A = this chain, B = another copy of it.
Amino acid sequence: MRRMDKVSLAHKLSLFHDHWHPRIVGELNGQHVKLVKFQGEFVWHHHEHEDELFLVVEGRFRMEFRDRDVWLERGEFLIVPRGVEHRPVADEEVSVLLFEPASTVNTGNEAGPLTRSTLERI
Contacts and interface: CB of A to CB of B under 8 A. Distances in A.
A45 to B, nearest CB: 16
A79 B4 contact: yes
Contacts of A31: 29, 31, 99
Given A80-B4, A81-B3, A75 B29 contact: no
A26 B84 contact: no
A43 interface: no
Nearest to A99: B99
Contacts of A3: 81
B9 A77 contact: yes
- The copy count of this chain in the complex is 2
10 contacts: A6-B71, A6-B76, A7-B78, A27-B79, A28-B51, A29-B31, A29-B51, A29-B100, A31-B31, A33-B99
A50 interface: yes
A50 B80 CA distance: 23
Contacts of A10: 75
